[in-house]
Amino acid sequence: MNQNMPFTSKSQVRFLFAKHSKIAKEFAAKTASISALPEKVKKLPAKPKLSKWKHTR
């Protein structure tokens, strides 16, 4: 995470304030603008699965 902007989305802000308010207050103090955050962050694309290797002896 970026040290200047610990929150990455508004949904993360809501979750942390609901579950861990002490940590959320620290993060909020370090976040430049909560209103500028996106509502949600898109998930990263899934990593391609490795093919199953057939072991031969």
Q: Please enumerate in sequence order all residues whose Cβ is within 8 A of that of 9, keeping only pairs 6 or more positions apart, or say none.
A: 37, 38, 39, 40, 41
Q: How far apart are CA 53 and CA 55, in angstroms?
A: 6
**What are 4-55's pLDDT values in tens digits?**
558 899 999 999 999 999 999 999 998 889 899 999 988 888 887 776 766 6
pTM comes to 0.62
Q: How far apart are CA 44 and CA 26, in angstroms?
A: 27
